[in-house]
Structure formats: structure tokens, C-alpha cells
């Protein structure tokens, strides 16, 4: 995406975002280093300078390489960057992996960020939720609301495509970065979150990315089954010999007993397809 001129509508939203951020005395930003939090951090740094601090929470559920990318992005933006270790795996509510897993995780992570913010004298905590997130099943948003977290991107009605355009305009390398949610989101509900399972998924996805599959998910299901999602137009290449055989052999060395390809292709949040209406009502956004 070239650094083209922003549309009048997007320029107005950007000005609204900068004005909103500038109204805060200071802030702590939950910063994963992805598109959403990257744009938010860049905007906050423009509006507040040294009074904005990006905070990255690390745990075994973070895909390998993501922390390094977050550090590079924070350095490019020029924002102060703090890294904290969180321990959600110590919480049995998280490990049992119910549909409310993200709620319990977010609650733990935000509490850790709040403690750091208090030590640094930061009054407002922000996250990168945008307009598109409001239509998805995101129990973590409930925890964010309970913690008093503000979501300036959503408040300014910015959607994912607009964030990509804004990131490209500002020269941020994450403008075309695929989403990279935590590794626990690959574990089917009801299957316990365990270090070895997170490592299996992470290594399997890195193997596929090394072979040119940018958008990919390896889902862990009961019976040590791997369900692989890639875009439909890339399925034929995945099934070509010898890659198909090499992939199956590699995943079995990691501990998977069965290796399958999802014929519906890549789609974010596919594990949520099993959730009932009650799950969606009790676990989703309270907005």
C-alpha cells in the first residue's frame, strides 16, 4: 500500500484521534506490536510525546518473534517501551480453557499493566480495540471495560482497513501485518492450556510461515489433532508432494497424532463456531 494522501474522512478521524489522545494527561498503552496497537502508539506519541508509554505483556502464549517485532516498532515510533512478564498460566480459570479464557487472561494482564502504570504515574490505560472488534466474540473486552480501559480507535470509529491506510501513511511496517493473536487462541475450548501444546502450535505455524504461508493457523483439537487453516487459493500448494509429506512428518515429531487441512480455509476465530448463544451473550462485549 503506497503512502497516498488520506481521504478527507480518514483525515478527520485521525485529527479526532489525536485530539482525544491529547486530552489525556498521560497514558499507558497495551502494546502487542501489531497493527492496532501500533497505530495507537504512534498517534499517542504524536499527541503526548514522552507522556505516552507502550507496555508489552509477555508470556508463553506469545508467538516467537513477536516481542522482537514489538521492540523494533516501538523504537521506530520513538515511544517509551516497557516489557512485563505475566503469569496467566498460573490461573486455573485460564488453563481450563473455557469460552471465558480470554476474559480471565485479559483481567490478569490488565492488572499487571495497571500496577506498572501506577508506579509510573500514568492515569489512563488504553487498548487498540477498533470498530470492527465490536462485531466479534471478544470476552476480553469485558475485562477491559471492568478495568476502565479506553479504546480510542473504536471511540473514533476507525476500522481495520482505515488503520492499515493510516499505518501506511505514517510509514509503519505493520500496515500489512497479519493478525497474530495469542497461541492459546489456537487451542480448542475444553482442551487444557499447557506449555507443550503452545510450543507445538507455535513451532508448527513457524514451519508453515518458513514455507511461504503468511496467513496460517494450526488449531489444536482433542486427540492431538492439528487442523490447519490456510487461504483457499494456497491449499493446492500445501497438498503438493513433497511439502505435504514433510509437513505431516514435522508436525508428528512435534507431538501431533493427526494432521488435517480445513477445507473452509483460513478464518479468524473459527474455534468460536462451537459456541452457543448463551456463551456469546455471557462472554462477549458488554457494549
CA distance 127 to 7: 25
Q: Is the dihedral of CA 159, 143, 108, 151 positive or negative?
A: positive
Model's pTM, two decimal places? Answer: 0.92
Whether domain 183-267 has CATH 3.10.450: the reply is no
The predicted structure's pLDDT at residue 286: 29
Q: Which CATH class is domain 8-176?
A: alpha beta
Long-range contacts of 279-284 (CB under 8 A, 24+ apart): 279/99, 279/137, 280/137, 282/100, 283/99, 283/100, 283/102, 283/103, 283/137, 283/139, 283/142, 284/137, 284/138, 284/139, 284/141, 284/142
The predicted structure's pLDDT at residue 136: 64
| Distance from the first to the final alpha carbon of the chain | 33
The predicted structure's pLDDT at residue 278: 62
The predicted structure's pLDDT at residue 102: 95
Instruction: Render each residue's pLDDT in the chain as its tens digit; 287 residues.
Output: 455 689 999 999 999 999 999 999 999 999 999 999 999 999 999 999 999 999 999 999 999 999 999 999 999 999 999 999 999 999 999 999 999 999 999 999 999 999 999 999 999 999 999 998 876 667 888 999 999 999 999 999 999 999 999 999 999 999 999 988 999 999 999 999 999 999 999 999 999 999 999 999 999 999 999 999 999 999 999 999 999 999 999 999 999 999 999 999 999 889 999 887 666 555 443 22
| CATH 3.40.50.620 boundaries in the chain | 8-176
Residue ranges of alpha helices (H) inside 131-284 are 140-146, 152-155, 160-169, 195-210, 235-239, 243-254, 277-283
Amino acid at each position: 500500500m503506497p503512502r497516498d494522501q488520506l481521504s478527507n474522512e480518514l483525515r478527520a478521524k485521525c485529527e479526532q484521534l489525536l485530539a482525544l489522545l491529547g486530552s489525556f494527561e498521560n497514558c499507558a498503552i497495551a502494546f502487542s506490536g501489531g497493527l492496532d496497537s501500533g497505530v495507537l502508539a504512534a498517534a499517542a506519541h504524536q499527541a503526548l510525546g514522552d507522556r505516552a508509554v507502550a507496555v508489552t505483556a509477555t508470556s508463553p502464549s506469545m508467538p516467537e518473534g513477536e516481542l522482537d517485532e514489538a521492540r523494533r516498532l516501538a523504537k521506530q515510533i520513538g515511544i517509551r517501551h516497557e516489557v512485563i512478564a505475566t503469569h496467566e498460566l498460573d490461573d486455573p480459570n485460564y488453563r481450563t480453557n473455557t469460552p471465558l479464557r480470554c476474559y480471565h487472561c485479559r483481567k490478569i494482564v490488565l492488572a499487571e499493566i495497571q500496577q506498572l502504570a501506577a508506579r509510573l504515574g500514568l492515569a489512563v490505560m488504553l487498548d487498540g480495540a477498533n470498530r470492527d472488534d465490536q462485531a466479534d466474540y471478544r470476552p476480553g473486552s469485558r475485562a477491559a471495560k471492568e478495568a476502565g480501559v479506553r479504546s480510542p480507535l473504536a471511540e473514533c470509529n476507525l476500522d481495520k482497513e482505515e488503520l492499515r491506510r493510516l499505518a501506511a501513511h505514517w510509514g509503519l511496517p505493520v500496515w500489512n501485518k497479519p493478525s497474530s493473536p495469542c497461541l492459546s487462541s489456537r487451542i480448542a475450548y475444553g482442551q487444557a492450556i499447557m506449555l507443550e501444546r503452545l510450543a507445538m502450535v507455535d513451532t508448527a505455524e513457524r514451519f508453515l510461515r518458513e514455507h511461504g504461508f503468511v496467513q496460517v493457523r494450526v488449531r489444536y483439537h482433542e486427540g492431538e489433532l492439528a487442523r490447519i487453516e490456510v487461504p483457499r487459493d494456497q491449499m493446492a500448494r500445501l497438498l503438493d508432494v513433497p511439502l505435504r509429506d514433510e509437513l505431516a512428518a514435522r508436525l508428528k515429531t512435534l507431538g501431533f497424532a493427526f494432521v488435517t487441512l480445513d477445507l473452509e480455509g483460513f478464518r479468524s476465530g473459527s474455534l468460536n463456531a462451537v459456541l452457543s448463544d448463551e456463551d456469546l451473550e455471557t462472554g462477549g462485549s458488554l457494549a
